Amino acid sequence: MTVRPVLERIDAWRWRLPKSGGMRTEGLIFASREQVAELERDESLTQVANVACLPGIVGPSIAMPDIHWGYGFPIGGVAAFDLDSGVVSPGGVGYDINCGVRLLALPLGVADVRPRLRELADALFRAVPSGVGSARSDLRLNDGQLDRVLAGGARRAVEMGFGRTEDLDAIEAGGRLRDADPGRVSKRARERGRDQLGTLGSGNHFVEVQWLDQAYDAEAAAALGLEEGGVTVLVHTGSRGLGHQTCDDHLDVMLASARAHRIRLPDPQLCCAPLGSPEADAYWGAMNAAANFAFANRQLITHHVRLAFERIFGAGVADGIRVVYDVAHNIAKLEEHEVAGRRRRVCVHRKGATRAFPPGHAELAPRFRDLGQPVLVPGDMGRYSFVLLGTARAAAETFSSCCHGAGRRLSRHAAKRSARTRDVTGELAAAGVLVRAASRATVDEEMPEAYKDVAGVVDVVAGAGIGRKVARLRPLAVVKG
């Protein structure tokens, strides 16, 4: 795209990006007027237009209100592709395959936790390795063990003794993607992930102790096991070095495939391969295996969070920690959706977006069938996060997709420059939020001002009807990568 995209307002929450240039379809952006003003200062709208140029795209190129610039696709981008004429693109999944979040509910109130918060933050920091290249000294997988994790995901982690069978019903897809092919994961990717199972990594990944300060729908919250004043833990991490390397392994192959199939790319970062081609199949098997690694990673972290709470509050509390839900943010999936009045199987890319199936969807576990899929939306470490539910409107408009977080406002470099003369950790402590991090640089680049106010993001999806607000969670203590 050489012409800067111009949006047309549809209503208070929706904007149309008209077809132009090589676009095969229009763009659909969910945003407030204020958010659009910010978007027009970066390149993410151009990326929405670029995605609309890919062959076989079905429906609009979609952007959530937490959209910001990413690799190939914008972060916050959603696009579906026809199985016969469409493509799969690593840029539509991201480097951190199945980066996602898991919410835990505890049998504790905020008054129980505050007096021992410092002790708890230290225990969690010791229990869950974090930071660049973090590894577990107590777990290094051989090839056979790693293959079983790549094939089995969270279920294999439970079989290894990390968690409970009932945890699996509260994970998207049961915590295991059946299309995984461990043999497609490279030797280099395996080596990078071999000792990283059960670790946070760096950047915006975290384990956060929270409390529920507002239930917008008390009945739905109770059905999820949440209540006002109750304590929760939110875990945000993905497939670590294994997923990053898996993405990197396939970029040149996909670029060559696009050339061979005469696919004109508006941006080389949108390199892709036709669905069903050998290149697409190789990536698909490896991507699903990396996603299973991420599900297993969050399962191990859950186990170690339980152990940390047991050390501080006893075995009874640890036994009472339940998984509310676990969602993927960076993934491509084969799903059935209604398109132009008929049901079709399509390949849905969600890059920084959450699957949000409506009530009654057959893929939801029985406990969520009447509610819709939980959508977990983390904010920044100084404000709040949200729990939503999927809706029929999302099924009709966004291929059952919703937002995934706050979305960055400042680059990591800009955030660190802004925080240079400040004590961000001290500021957060003064506001009642304890932070434990591998380095000061991590805290500075993740300071609250680096992100949009997630409440504004959630207001857009709720106003548009593609997400139903259930609860707001406030931070108490954060372990950062």
Residues belonging to the active site: 404
Task: Please say whether the beta carbons of 300 and 158 come within 8 A.
Answer: no
* DSSP assigned state of 170: G
User: Terminus-to-terminus CA distance in the chain, angstroms?
Assistant: 36
| DSSP states of 265-320 | PSSGGG--EETTSHHHHHHHHHHHHHHHHHHHHHHHHHHHHHHHHHHHH-HHHHHT
How long is the chain?
Answer: 481
- The residues near 427 (Cβ < 8 Å, ≥ 6 apart) are none
Task: Please say whether the beta carbons of 130 and 438 come within 8 A.
Answer: yes
Rg (CA), the chain: 21
Residue type, 403: C
Whole-number Å distance between alpha carbons of 133 and 149: 20
Nearest to 135 by CA among 438, 458, 473: 438
Whole-number Å distance between alpha carbons of 137 and 128: 11
